[in-house]
Structure 1
Amino acid sequence: MNVLLSTAFVLTWSSGFIGAKLGAGSASAVTVLMWRFLPLAVVLGLVAALCARASWRGLTVRDLGRQAAVGALSQSGYLLTVYYAIQLGVSSGTTALIDGTQPLVAGALAGPLLGHYVSRTQWVGLVLGVSGVVIVTAADVSGGGDATWWAYLVPFLGMFSLVAATFLDRRAPRAVGPAVSLTVHCVTSAVVFTGLALATGAATPPAEASFWTAIGWLVALSTFGGYGLYWLILRRSGVTQVNTLMFLMAPVTALWGALMFGEPFGPQTMAGLAVGLAAVIVVRWGARAGGGASRTRRAITPVAEVSRASGSPAPRARTGR
């Protein structure tokens, strides 16, 4: 199940970069994001009111406020920077490559912020993953592009936004169900992007069929698939493992972009993909090996360990999600 979830997560999360490029050809980033989340927030709100009331019982205003902050960072802030970078001319593959540095940042901060021990084997895997990102980044930069130099800094803001959201969620005093968190995050993003679109005069959607194709793509694959699986795997496997999968986003997106948009995909990019796969294998092997370590030097893997470090109880097993 972990392998299937990880594979689905990599594919659906990578689809977000492709969907952003599909939408960038017909509308601004704010317009695409507004119409991605506004109908979705309405549907999820109705489902929560009619079919999922039990999931909301016992939650306080503070719990919902924390989830709104997490959504503002992990959805609104992260996606706005990704879409804006692609709108500025940064390719989907390059944007994914820059976001691929997230695992190293998350791994470095897991110790001081969550009190976790990251094994040496896991650090080797993290460094190996960064090497793969560097290889593919060099291939993309050498291919040239239309974006100005500062446009390549924009995705870094999104990467730090997602890292901050991850740790804010893990330090919550109680676990919130995936259905609740997804609803709160999408409603928060709908409010943020609708406000931005109205303020900038970009709320009216274009009539092109390609725009609505991109919206359907983003809702079905990126939101329900990639974003939902991100938080599910985070709770099942922990911070380090879910973020290590991010190393695969760049080469997978580059391959996807080559197939759909004719973007270059040469031997150097293929080498980066191989190194990224090796990084995931090394980190997962190190996580299993860390299971036998002493309690004071346990590797970051189970949700219970994350919960203990943040002072919160481990979430109970859930079914029917």
Structure 2
Amino acid sequence: MAMLLSLVVSAGLVICWSSGFIGTRLASGVELPATTIFFWRFLLAAGICLLLLVGRTCLFGQRARLSLGGAGRELAAGSLSVGGYLLGVVFAIELGVSAGITSLITALQPLLAALVMSMMLGERIALLGWLGSLLAALGVVISVTGDMSGAGHAPVWAYALPILSAISLTAGSMLSTYRPAQLGLIERLMRQLLAAAVIFGIASVSQTGHLPGLPRTGPGVWQAILFLVVLSSFGGYGFFIASLRLQGVTATSVMFYLTPPCTMLWAALQLGERISTAGWLGGATVAIGVMLSLRVLWQSAAPSESRRAVPKASGRTGSGREQAGQ
């Protein structure tokens, strides 16, 4: 049952995270700054979370647990894994870095997360797991090779922005994993989305010189915003948080390798974009690498789960990872 739940959460994460690229394409023809569109996306999503919490309290009498420490931690996690990650991607593309290069750099984030967890937190990864991660990284490179030829004339320093996005997502993932257990999924998601809305609101003001106004253009704007709210915000970051809680940072990060081929297939079906031979080959390579990595990670997680089931005579609390899974 646990394996089936992990597969469902992983599939939902890949599909909904990939929807962000499709939603950005839908909004590409809108005459609004990307920072303004993303501000309204995250503000609307946070507002819906608040309505869900109020409705839950009114119908079931279940109140949200308030914790200043937990709230601050989630705001910081959202600022990094949502706001900081997407802000770097948006600015890099606006400065002329191609979407393929940006996708390539940010999709290598799992290797960074695995390295950090291995070196700093003592999370050991078997040789086969590293081989799977490197194979998946190679697949990402193959998948976006054809897109590299369309790279824009961006300043050299702009290519550092996707790297900063990957670092920001890794830091936010680690911070989000070691969290107070009393915060529910909706409470955590609302705080993270609100933090992202504040970041993009500040970015929009710095770009336009005024507060983000309510979009008054045609229905295409709201269609793109709703697409991003439902699939990318609630779906993407909802599955992201659920995966961190269920599988941990490393396994969650590995799933991001599947987003480039998933995005290509989605774009081909919905937008009519042609998938090259390199794209198909890269997607297959990514899938093999992810399966190898996840097999190793799930096998290594099984003994720790069995150890958790054994009562501890000392009465000590579990480690940060064990508490995070409560």
Question: Smaller-chain TM-score range?
Answer: 0.7 to 0.9
Name 1:184's counterpart in structure 2: 191
Q: Give 2:21's match in structure 1, choosing from 1, 17, 24.
A: 17
Name 2:87's counterpart in structure 1: 80
Deviations 1:207-226 (A, max 9, x none): 03222111011001101111
Partners in 1 of 2:12 and 2:121 — Cα distance? Answer: 27
CA contact (8 A) 1:31 1:203 kept: yes
Give the superposition deviation at 1:31.
0.9
Identity %: 34
Q: Give 1:3's match in structure 2, choosing from 7, 12, 23.
A: 7
Partners in 2 of 1:98 and 1:125 — Cα distance? Answer: 18
Name 1:45's counterpart in structure 2: 50
Partners in 1 of 2:43 and 2:78 — Cα distance? Answer: 14
Name 2:212's counterpart in structure 1: 203
Deviations 1:293-314 (A, max 9, x none): 7x7xx9xxx9xxxx95537624
CA contact (8 A) 2:180 2:324 kept: no
Say whether residues 1:56 and 2:71 are aligned partners: no
Name 1:29's counterpart in structure 2: 34
Name 1:146's counterpart in structure 2: 152
Q: 1:132 to 1:166 in 2, by over 3 A?
A: same
Say whether residues 1:275 and 2:282 are aligned partners: no
Give the superposition deviation at 1:206.
4.8
Q: CA RMSD in A?
A: 2.6
Q: 1:165 to 1:308 in 2, by over 3 A?
A: farther
Give the superposition deviation at 1:89.
4.4
Say whether residues 1:95 and 2:108 are aligned partners: no
Amino acid at match of 2:7: V
Q: Give 1:242's match in structure 2, choosing from 239, 252, 255.
A: 252
Name 2:314's counterpart in structure 1: none
Q: Give 2:111's match in structure 1, choosing from 85, 104, 129.
A: 104
Give the superposition deviation at 1:81.
1.8
CA contact (8 A) 1:30 1:193 kept: yes
Deviations 1:253-272 (A, max 9, x none): 23333444455521111111
Partners in 1 of 2:6 and 2:22 — Cα distance? Answer: 25
Alignment length (residue pairs): 304
Q: 1:35 to 1:289 in 2, by over 3 A?
A: closer
CA contact (8 A) 2:23 2:227 kept: yes
Q: Secondary structure at the match of 1:115?
A: coil
CA contact (8 A) 1:20 1:86 kept: no
Deviations 1:78-116 (A, max 9, x none): 111222333344454443222110110000011233321
Moved more, 46-55 or 64-73: 46-55
Partners in 2 of 1:203 and 1:88 — Cα distance? Answer: 21
CA contact (8 A) 2:112 2:170 kept: yes
Amino acid at match of 1:157: L
Q: Secondary structure at the match of 1:56?
A: coil
Q: 1:158 to 1:312 in 2, by over 3 A?
A: same
Partners in 1 of 2:63 and 2:192 — Cα distance? Answer: 15
Moved more, 168-177 or 208-217: 168-177
Give the superposition deviation at 1:121.
1.6
Amino acid at match of 1:2: S
Name 1:319's counterpart in structure 2: none
Structure 2 gap segments, 5+ residues each: 310-316
Moved more, 29-38 or 88-97: 88-97
CA contact (8 A) 1:230 1:242 kept: yes
Amino acid at match of 2:39: M
Partners in 2 of 1:18 and 1:94 — Cα distance? Answer: 16
Amino acid at match of 1:56: A
Q: 1:130 to 1:275 in 2, by over 3 A?
A: same
CA contact (8 A) 1:173 1:312 kept: no
Say whether residues 1:114 and 2:115 are aligned partners: no
Partners in 1 of 2:322 and 2:39 — Cα distance? Answer: 34
CA contact (8 A) 2:95 2:155 kept: no
Deviations 1:58-95 (A, max 9, x none): x4211111110001111111111222333344454443
Moved more, 170-179 or 2-11: 170-179
